[in-house]
Structure 1
Amino acid sequence: MSLTIIKNCLSVLCLAMSATAIAVDIAPAVAANQIAHHPEVVAHLNGTPVHKLTLEVLTQMAQLENPKTVRADILDNILSNRLLAEDAREKFAEEELQASRRVAFEPDVMLDNQLSGYLRTVYRKDLETAISKLPGGRLDALIQEHGKLDEDQLNAVFGARNRIMLDYSLNPTQQTAATHVLVLRSNFAAASSISLYAVFRRQNVQGRVEFFNRNRDFIRQQAQLYLANLYVLDWARQRFGESALSDLRRALQEKNSVQAVMSLHGIGADTDSESRLLNQLAAEVKPKEVQAYFHSHKEEFKRIVSVKARHIRLDNEEQARQVSELAHQGANFASLAKQYSTAPDAQQGGDMGLIAHRGQLSWLEQLAYMQEPGKVSPPIRTAVAPNETAHWEIVLVEKRNDGYQDPASETVRYLASRAIAQEKAIRQLSSLQAQLRKSAKIEINQAALLN
């Protein structure tokens, strides 16, 4: 990514962090008094409350990375994320804002895990106190029964063993069967009965593989983790209330959505990352824009035109290390090649000549292009087939000639158009953020920011 793009990315990110002043200016002076009698509410955004729990948890989590983080900045991020996430839901398909479900966790599962993880981190001592009051002082005390998970039950869900598997998911019939298989029963109301399906759907692809492999210890462990998550969420619900917990969950979901939106706009993503938005903007880039970008960012299109190099080929690794050490100690490389190299060009001092950058380079020529001029490479084993004899190569690039990509080439067109698309997308996002903030009705409870 170019320096220009990085600066633009930072500008967008800083916008969300610096808009606190905007929020305070927009909210009339009386706004704080309007919500001051709701001490558990720190702000209203277009009439919807932001709860103190949300601000407290996200502030403490941010302070783990940066102790200087202040509440006002986090509140402003919450408000900005809420506005941007609402706008994104209207403009982008759901799958564009979520990771692939075939390999990742289901969105609601990922969110529940994130929510309980944040709560455990912030309220660790309080949770430990609550758990200490359980019989035996352990969550395990809630468990009344472990399911048998016998082979017939698992076969009914996952099919016969030793099948070639291309997809580790369950069809509707398998899902129904899995709901009737007990993994864990507890005297905790929120998890009185945990089925195989309830645990299975909370897995990513690696976890699902373990289920299909009938790893019973893993299945029971995952059920206990699910029980622990449910306990944490129930504890938080009783302490802070359903509304506050739902608001925190919503804020985490909006944070995830905004991260996806940032990626779709090229922030934190490579120029060749797949994005419908970037693809569309790149397709609209004109040839004159590509040429202008090339001339103002020539260093991004720098390339090696040719190298002048020598090499030493040896038949075993030990001798290669010894010769490499001599070269590093300052022995003449050409003389070492004449004395030790087994390559046909040994008597020419291993001279590879001037290697021009052409369509197809040999393995050894590619190796030379990878080396820094004037530095002897370590011994590198040749890439050969299993039944071929390997050698070890030591390479010294004596001179490297740099140049630039052809400005009319497809490579320049592709890279420049993607970079220009990123810059345009980032400017669009920055403008959108400012517009959303300007049209929003934001009320801040200033007293809540001080507690």
Structure 2
Amino acid sequence: MKLLLLSLLLFCAPLQAAIRYDIDDPQQLARVNDLTLSATVVEIFWQAYNHPSRPLSPPQAMQRIIDDALLAAHARQTLTPQQLQQENAVGFLLQVQQQDRATALLRKYYEKPLYQAIQQLPGSSLDGIYQFAEEINEQWLQQHFALLSRVNIEATAAQQQLAENTVIARVRLAGNSHTLSLWDIYRRQNVQGRLAIHNADLQFLRGQAKQRAGSLFVLDWTQRKMGEKDFNAVFQIVKNEQDKATLLRNMGLYADVHDDNPVLRDAAKKVTEAQVKAFYQANKQEFKVVEKVRARHIRVQTQQLADEVHEALKNGLEFSVAVSRYSVADDKHNTPAGDLGWLKRADKNRNWLYSVAFTQPQGAFSMPFRSPQNQGDIVYEIVYIDERVDGFLPLTDPTVRYEASRDVALKQLKNDFYQLQQRLRQQADISLNKRALTAATD
């Protein structure tokens, strides 16, 4: 922790951030904006961020937490509520994602004492705090919650009201009873989960209700264990992570698998021809292509035979001998059996075999490839490359313009983000615990 505090000081001072030493609470290390950080909270996120493939020190974790807080505050000031709260139609709600991540963080950090707490429950399991409403069965779900339209997988207004008023489970937490409605569970699902409930999958519903009961136990236990301030700080940091991701998405620096990147696309349109040419000249190797290959092939009619021929080639059988012995390739170009001649990138009648040949190194045979199902009889091909000639896409090729303009635009967007981050750091108002810092330097 001494290293953590010293690194925080070094992190702030060179950037001319406004630093105040006005924290007296011995349990608090630092405060930025409305976020107060204790040693426990920092350690929770350091454990989450640190990974063997991407090792991270506690000071770096602290820096990430502070940067996320600053970026999230900027997002809330500059983005509209609609942008900040935009939900994914097929994914989990933002609030659900926040709760699930916070729960996972707390469960991991308090893993051992949580396990001990569960052992003290009736039956030494979470089953002792959870009871599912037996009146909710498949017939009830089919009658009240079946989809009215397969086009749109969501509950109707009437189904939502019914679900909100339908208790499907009760959870006992620290002497208090907590009820779970059908809507509590339904709204926590992505599109696949909602569909399962509409399809009256009672086993799935029971499993989700039990999982939610376990999460509520974790949240209730950890809140009492760590106190309200630290508990809320965990959720605030997770919310900051979400809002930072939204900011990055709106700056063109982040898009999930369901999203386009319109900011990057628009920025790429503004890249000049001179910029494209400069990028091309500096990164010409990125546009390297196969111009042509001189190839031979073996064509057989079954996967089993293709595997046997490939194994024989690996064991030293000459490719020309294998062609004569096994290949059923017909000759349409008056070339020797199995000879494909020169396959050129510029050829107008290219087929799937070109793609196989162009991905193989010179002087080597390929694995067996199965022909596409929509291109005649199914056959299996083994290709040998006698000679390969590489070249470069010309500057006038549309692919060059597309790739270069996006790379140039992305570099500029990243630079804009870096400048923003530096400015936010310089303008940051950070409070430190001077007593803890003094103790660390003794």
Is the structural similarity TM-score above 0.5? yes
- Distance in 2, Cα, partners of 1:99 & 1:369: 44
TM-score, with length taken from structure 2 = 0.86
Aligned to 2:433: 445
Q: 1:361 to 1:24 in 2, by over 3 A?
A: same
SS in 2 for 1:113: helix
Aligned to 1:165: 150
Post-superposition offset of 1:390? 2.0
Map 1:289-368 → 2, pairs under 5 A? 289-345=275-331, 348-358=336-346, 359-368=348-357
Aligned to 1:128: 115
Aligned to 2:371: 382
Aligned to 2:166: 181
Post-superposition offset of 1:191? 5.5
- Distance in 2, Cα, partners of 1:245 & 1:73: 22
**Counterpart among 86, 106, 112 of residue 119 in structure 1:** 106
Post-superposition offset of 1:239? 2.4
- Distance in 1, Cα, partners of 2:276 & 2:379: 45
Post-superposition offset of 1:93? 5.4
- Distance in 2, Cα, partners of 1:378 & 1:238: 60
Post-superposition offset of 1:95? 6.9
Encode CA deviations 1:162-207: one digit per residue, 9 max, x unaligned.
x762332112221111122221123337662211111011111222
Aligned to 2:93: 106
Encode CA deviations 1:5-48: one digit per residue, 9 max, x unaligned.
xxxxxxxxxxxxx986241454678x33x20x212322122465
Q: Is the 8 A contact 2:138 2:202 kept in 1?
A: no
- Distance in 2, Cα, partners of 1:66 & 1:408: 40
Aligned to 2:3: none
- Distance in 2, Cα, partners of 1:434 & 1:405: 38
SS in 2 for 1:348: coil
Q: 1:19 to 1:99 in 2, by over 3 A?
A: farther
SS in 1 for 2:341: strand
Aligned to 2:424: 436
Q: 1:115 to 1:190 in 2, by over 3 A?
A: farther
Q: Is the 8 A contact 2:170 2:180 kept in 1?
A: yes
Q: Is the 8 A contact 2:253 2:264 kept in 1?
A: no
Post-superposition offset of 1:75? 1.7
Q: 1:93 to 1:415 in 2, by over 3 A?
A: farther
Aligned to 2:224: 238
Q: Is the 8 A contact 2:17 2:427 kept in 1?
A: no
**Counterpart among 349, 363, 386 of residue 398 in structure 1:** 386
Q: Is the 8 A contact 1:105 1:202 kept in 2?
A: yes
Amino acid at match of 1:355: L
Aligned to 1:62: 49
SS in 2 for 1:177: helix
- Distance in 1, Cα, partners of 2:81 & 2:344: 49
Question: Aligned residues: percent identity?
Answer: 29
- Distance in 2, Cα, partners of 1:27 & 1:287: 40
Aligned to 1:41: 28
**Pairing 1:86–2:73 present:** yes
Q: 1:332 to 1:142 in 2, by over 3 A?
A: closer
Q: Is the 8 A contact 1:381 1:390 kept in 2?
A: yes
Q: 1:333 to 1:63 in 2, by over 3 A?
A: closer
Post-superposition offset of 1:66? 7.5
Q: Is the 8 A contact 2:298 2:329 kept in 1?
A: yes
Aligned to 2:269: 283
Post-superposition offset of 1:361? 1.5
Q: Is the 8 A contact 1:20 1:72 kept in 2?
A: no
Q: 1:329 to 1:71 in 2, by over 3 A?
A: closer
Q: Is the 8 A contact 1:168 1:205 kept in 2?
A: yes
Post-superposition offset of 1:383? 1.9
Q: Is the 8 A contact 1:53 1:245 kept in 2?
A: no
Unaligned runs of 5+ in 2: 1-6
- Distance in 1, Cα, partners of 2:178 & 2:310: 68
Aligned to 2:358: 369
**Pairing 1:146–2:140 present:** no
- Worse-matched range after superposition: 115-124 or 89-98: 89-98
- Distance in 1, Cα, partners of 2:264 & 2:374: 41
Aligned to 1:411: 399
Q: How many residues are paired up?
A: 427
Aligned to 1:13: none
**Counterpart among 200, 204, 208 of residue 218 in structure 1:** 204
- Worse-matched range after superposition: 340-349 or 423-432: 340-349
- Worse-matched range after superposition: 54-63 or 100-109: 54-63
Amino acid at match of 1:212: H
Q: Is the 8 A contact 1:333 1:349 kept in 2?
A: no
- Worse-matched range after superposition: 276-285 or 294-303: 276-285
- Distance in 2, Cα, partners of 1:61 & 1:120: 11
Q: 1:385 to 1:424 in 2, by over 3 A?
A: closer
Amino acid at match of 1:220: R
For the aligned residue pairs, the C-alpha RMSD in angstroms reads: 3.1
- Distance in 2, Cα, partners of 1:122 & 1:99: 30
Post-superposition offset of 1:427? 0.6
Aligned to 2:4: none
Q: 1:46 to 1:62 in 2, by over 3 A?
A: closer
- Worse-matched range after superposition: 424-433 or 72-81: 72-81
